Structure 1
């Protein structure tokens, strides 16, 4: 790479993206970074510019915008919508253009999720099979129509075609209210998706809920730990030590423990009840609730993952099962405030 490192960043205003971007701004090599972010909001664009970031105001669905920005990037952090196939296609086109023009392979760090490992348990059971990010053959057994897989396969093909080195980070259930400079400036969303969604559903229905018996299992990871993983991966790519896998060998699961859905629902029920919302035991979501909101069924799936390859980079997640459950109270307090 040249002295200046051109970094294209998508998802800068999001929960994960903002946390990763903040770490890049504090990185020891930050003076070498020329970061370009694509954001929709003119207001947030102006705030990002004050942090030394060049900004393109536009949508990730604007193929020309994404393609043009990618064609100039040494490194891409794609931390926006994991399911936007059009945006991913435009990005690959831009990265291919750069390779054809310069002969240099860009580095892509793409965000997917362990939702790609899910089944249709509906809370009735858990399973023993754990997907290990060090086992490419095992991961390739996933169905082509699994969640996020349509974009992941496009990313993998780009690496196989030889014009970019791709790395896919797969966060699990991310938790923790993020605090930092980008949140303070009103740029970044401080909340995750899954746990706040369950809390909101509990508030709306007047009782915390779960799918079936809540026997299904998911991995979890704290927002600070998953943001650190992106930086550990980037540093390993630059140093080539330890040599990070890419393409089919380039999956990195973000997890540091697992939880049963019923136990999470119970913890939410206790905190909601402390605010006068329902009782301290969750009830089962009804068929009507399933039909009303497709995401309800998602909470009944299993997703089992082990981040062996991620840890081999030197990633050392700190937050445990205890921290996971301790995060529920501040989330409920914030969302019911």
Structure 2
């Protein structure tokens, strides 16, 4: 039986969701809760905090208090699901294997091929530029051969390979979303209720490091380039992909199921110059221009010079599904002052 016809015959689409309390996950889950077919979804979400679980329960979500490290529990919950959406973990191979075991169990018991939407990241594309130069290497998601040329030692890569292997073996249809630098303070019900985290990682970590050292910083000369996406436009793509996977089994998956989610690029120096000026104007920096993080500072704040890497890509597959993001580099830079102010208030 075709996947689409099987799904249409079900009373409920059972969705297992990991990452509800996170920055990406909160926005994606909100789309599911607001979905026009919400009444046909039974959503189970993994949550580590009891109080947050109780609030999610009031919204009609079956919140299970556990983590992705509770492997047996995860496998059992996934095995009972038609769709799995993971926005919580891109590097813990053991946790992903627990998900994959559940998908295989579901397939073995029902004959159905479940859907797995996995979150990776364009960190898999990084080089060792150390902020000293740009690159002409641009990955395009409709060219799986170039993605397959990435070394297994690249960030996220071992997990991505395991996910694609599940598709190749036929017990799941897999889709990997690779967000780049995500910007914007997230808004919406799940954030207002204190369930989900409003802030990204990449930009805030650089701001916090700069605040701690009393001066805006940059890795090397900041000549490296990264792609970008606004948080709610990213979540909109997850919804588009989710709808496509349910309605059309031929939506590219497996080795062809990599989806970059970018809408432009920025230079790290331009970002650093922006938050350095804001910190200076607020009396939190010694000067308006960024200075290089020392080797010791890069290790202390970031675990190395990865903020000096290049990561370049084009989101062709996402746009072919109908995704139409509008927020660009200008919007990213304009998002920095409120981000700085929010971080200062948290201190």
Q: TM-score range by the shorter chain?
A: over 0.9
Shift of 1:151: 0.6
TM-score normalised by structure 2 residue count:
0.95
User: What is the alpha-carbon distance in structure 2 between the residues aligned to residue 309 and residue 221 of structure 1?
Assistant: 15
2:133 alignment partner, SS class: coil
Shift of 1:129: 1.3
**Residues 1:182 and 2:187 are matched in the alignment:** no
**CA offsets per residue over residues 93-129 of structure 1, 9 Å max, x none?**
0110111111000000000000000011100101011
Shift of 1:296: 4.7
Shift of 1:294: 3.9
Shift of 1:224: 0.7
TM-score normalised by structure 1 residue count:
0.98
Shift of 1:8: 0.2
Aligned partner of 2:320 in structure 1 is: 312
User: What is the alpha-carbon distance in structure 1 between the residues aligned to residue 317 and residue 304 of structure 2?
Assistant: 31
CA RMSD of aligned residues (A): 1.0
User: What is the alpha-carbon distance in structure 2 between the residues aligned to residue 318 and residue 233 of structure 1?
Assistant: 18
User: What is the alpha-carbon distance in structure 1 between the residues aligned to residue 64 and residue 200 of structure 2?
Assistant: 25
Instruction: Specify every segment of 5 or more residues in structure 2 that has no aligned partner in the other structure, as ranges.
Output: 1-6
User: What is the alpha-carbon distance in structure 2 between the residues aligned to residue 335 and residue 291 of structure 1?
Assistant: 21
Aligned 8 A contact 2:219 2:298 in 1? no
Aligned partner of 2:163 in structure 1 is: 155
User: What is the alpha-carbon distance in structure 2 between the residues aligned to residue 326 and residue 291 of structure 1?
Assistant: 28
Aligned 8 A contact 1:211 1:296 in 2? no
Aligned partner of 1:101 in structure 2 is: 109
Aligned residue pairs: how many? 336
Summarize the alignment of residues 1-337 of structure 1 with structure 2, pairs less than 5 Å apart. 1=7, 2-240=10-248, 243-278=250-285, 279-337=287-345
Instruction: Specify every segment of 5 or more residues in structure 1 that has no aligned partner in the other structure, as ranges.
Output: none
User: What is the alpha-carbon distance in structure 1 between the residues aligned to residue 342 and residue 296 of structure 2?
Assistant: 28
2:59 alignment partner, SS class: coil
Segments ≥4 residues shifted beyond 4 Å:
none
**CA offsets per residue over residues 180-223 of structure 1, 9 Å max, x none?**
00011110100000111111011000111111111000000000
**CA offsets per residue over residues 234-289 of structure 1, 9 Å max, x none?**
11112218x42000000000100100111110011011111112211000011221
